[in-house]
Amino acid sequence: MKKFVIFDIDGTLIRALRPIDNLQRFRYSIQKAFDVDVGKMTHEVWKRGNYNGKGDRFILWNMLSHHGVSRDTFLDRLGEIGEYFAAYLDIVRADGPSYEVIEDAKKLLEKVISARHLSEGVLTGNLGPSARWKLKDAGLPEFAFGVYGHEADSREDLARLIIPKAKKFFGRDIIPSDITIIGDTVNDVLCARAIGATVIIVSTGWNVHKDEFADHLPDLHVDSLLDERVLSLLGLTV
């Protein structure tokens, strides 16, 4: 029976080279879709909203809900917003690279892809179009299986989609002990715990501190995804 290794994207597989520039996609896309200006995204706004590790759908609604847009209208136009996200990232990319791959994560991903006893997937708070854009920009392959930020507001609810989606995609029953989630924030721990999956946290995330995990301990907390403990847990060799 194959086991499933589910990767987060931002801070886990890739890192932003210009994070604040890239975050202006929220303002740009909301203005394009709804003609509403929610203001510039800054470090202070990001921190005040406690947005680190949260899904884009949650962040968008949190920014937009006070501006007279109904929830149904917002959800109806979420696909359009995702396309605006990708269009904005194209604009930013014209001034130089926006993202880079984290090399140890790439090497682990390659090992997982090659392993006959493992199947890989992605769980990300990114909307589908921007997730695919980021992976391509960083030189990573698109995942055949994934759960994306447009599908639910919370990371926990995104995680709850893994089992039914994987059953449909792979054509067999999936149990929580078959799943390992790899991420970089407390929200990755919370989403794994919500479904009883194993969770590995890597300390490569943007503005993430180890003391944040004091009350939400992962199964492994490592500085590199090539750590021998990660390879051992996944049944891989150096």
For residue 183, list its beta bridge partners. Answer: 201
Task: Quote the mean pLDDT of the chain.
Answer: 94
CA atoms 151, 154, 155, 158: torsion sign: negative
Confidence check: pLDDT of 1 > 80: no
Q: What is the reported pLDDT for 238?
A: 74
**Residue 227 burial (CB < 10 Å; 0-12/13-18/19+)?**
middle
pLDDT digits (tens, 9 = 90+) for 6-25: 999 999 999 999 989 999 99
pLDDT digits (tens, 9 = 90+) for 173-206: 899 999 999 999 999 999 999 999 999 999 998 8
pLDDT digits (tens, 9 = 90+) for 121-138: 999 999 999 999 999 999
Which ranges of 11-70 would DSSP assign to H, the alpha helix?
19-23, 25-34, 43-48, 56-64
Confidence check: pLDDT of 152 > 80: yes
Confidence check: pLDDT of 218 > 90: yes
Which CATH superfamily includes the segment(s) 3-16+101-233?
HAD superfamily/HAD-like (3.40.50.1000)
Provide φ and ψ at 150, rounded to 5°: -80, -10
Q: What is the reported pLDDT for 237?
A: 83
The rounded distance, in Å, linking the Cα atoms of 137 and 168 is 29
- Going from the C-alpha of 71 to that of each of 81, 156, 209, 224, the distances in angstroms are 14, 20, 34, 40
pLDDT digits (tens, 9 = 90+) for 54-86: 999 999 999 999 999 999 999 999 999 999 999
* Spans of all domains in the chain: 3-16+101-233, 19-93
CA atoms 30, 36, 59, 74: torsion sign: negative
For residue 121, list its beta bridge partners. Answer: 6
Position 161 confidence tier, pLDDT thresholds 50, 70, 90: very high
